[in-house]
Structures are given as structure tokens and as C-alpha cells.
Amino acid sequence: MAVNADEVRTIALSLPDSSEKPAWGMPTFRVGGKVFAALADDDASIGVKCPKEDRAELIAAEPEKFFLREGHDDNYAWIRVRLDAVDAAELRSILTDSWLLAAPKRLAAAHPELGGPAD
């Protein structure tokens, strides 16, 4: 069930126009110059874009899966995901949702199969 850093990299880089660039001493994944995912330095979790208003509900529903890094994530639209709590299909969904939040609108619209708005 659990996924690892290699699977994060494979899925993230399979999304349209995605690239990997180190930042803050860890791998980050970007689209249109914006970070949509970052591997933690221990490869046990990832940070992904998530609307601030959705975070509390996700954490309350699945605290074994979702968390915030207190003092760090408080002011950002990000949430952390424990890799040992998700499978590859859920990881793909989480990364795709994050990609859609970061991708330029035109790029997201060009990929309605990913859940973006149709042209």
C-alpha cells in the first residue's frame, strides 16, 4: 500500500509540463514555475498545495494521513501527506489536485482529463 519517494517523483513528473528542482535542500516539483509538491528531507512525507479552508477537515477525517508542520505551514495553502498512509492511486489523485492548483489556467484547461476546467 505505502508509496515511496521514487513513486512521488514518477507521478509528479508524469503530469504535463512538470519539472523537478531542488529547493530548501529537498526535491520540489513545479509547473509554470510554481511548486506543487515537495518531498520532505526524510522521504517519509510530501507537502502539497491545498486550500487553507480544506485543511482542517482533511486532517480531522484522516489524521494518520494528513498533517501540518506547526509554525511552518500555518500561513500557507499547503498540507503534508504521510507516504506510508497512501497507495499509488491516492498519491496520483493528491498530486494531480495539487498540480491543478498550481498550473497556469490555460495549461489546466488543456488537460480536462486531469479534472481541470474544459476549454
pLDDT digits (tens, 9 = 90+) for 66-80: 999 887 788 899 999
Query: pLDDT at residue 119 above 70?
Result: no
Q: Give yes or no for residue 33 having a pLDDT over 90.
A: yes
Contact 95, 8 (CB under 8 A): yes
d(CA 29, CA 109): 20
Percent of residues, the chain, with pLDDT higher than 70: 96
CATH fold of 5-27+34-114:
Aspartate Aminotransferase, domain 1 (3.90.1150)
- Pinpoint the alpha helices (H) of the chain: 5-14, 52-61, 88-102, 105-109
Mean pLDDT of the 21-37 span: 95
CA within 13 Å, CB half, 77: 13
Rounded to an integer, the average pLDDT of 48-54 is: 96
